[in-house]
Amino acid sequence: MSLIKEDLQLLLLNFCEPESELLQRIDRETNLKVLMPRMLSGHYQGRVLSMLSKLITPKRILEIGTFTGYATICMAEGLAQDGIIYTLDKNMELEDRVRGYFAVSPYNSQIKYIMGDATQTINNLDETFDLVFIDADKKNNGTYYDLIFDRVRPGGLIIVDNVLWSGKVLTLQQDRDTVNISTFNDKVAGDDRVEKLILPVRDGLFIIRKK
């Protein structure tokens, strides 16, 4: 899904921090044993998420869409000492695998892994978030955005993945997923409550700062 040529991508990896052994393991096992491994954030995007988290030292992070936990651990690297990351997912087939990864991470006590429909489980969280990462079913990007907006502190970040959708947002004839993503992008572009930009990282990261 990367919009950057492979040789340039390899060059970029030479100028960022290496993956931990656990992240390497998650990447390898996801590609070998899990359906749709392309959903994994991967090394470069993981370092971007880690850097953004470290820049704001969040006390509370919300992740919507855990998959195999790679991005969760990357963002947890920036947590304040007493910080918590809540990560929401509904894929019960991956639950044992993901809990196993979290159990051996240095952030296990700070990770709250919650199973269920995120449109419902979000409402059970009485928190104000410094950082939110939306990387779940694309048709609900706008729904998640609306659900969490008032729970994000002023100056907090909302990051949304896959907003360039392998470049399909440029095409005139769009499938349903592309239409949903384009509609969400337009929604954020017209929201004067936020500052925003899209980084062409992997499949497009929307970086949104609440005013």
**CATH number of 201's domain:** 3.40.50.150
Answer yes or no: is 1 within a domain: no
- Compute the average pLDDT of residues 44-54: 97
Q: E strands along the chain, which residues? A: 60-64, 84-89, 111-115, 129-134, 152-161, 194-199, 205-210
pLDDT value of residue 171 = 83
Q: What pairs with residue 97 in β-bridges? A: none
Using the predicted structure, report yes or no on whether residue 90 has a pLDDT greater than 90.
yes
The domain tally of the chain equals 1
SS3 32: helix
Domain range enclosing 115: 6-210
Question: Quick one: pLDDT band at residue 96, thresholds 50, 70, 90?
Answer: very high
Using the predicted structure, report yes or no on whether residue 174 has a pLDDT greater than 90.
no
Look over the chain and give the mean of its residue pLDDT values, rounded to a whole number: 95
Answer yes or no: is 82 within a domain: yes
Answer yes or no: is 115 within a domain: yes
What's this model's pTM, rounded to 2 decimal places? 0.95
Question: Quick one: pLDDT band at residue 1, thresholds 50, 70, 90?
Answer: low
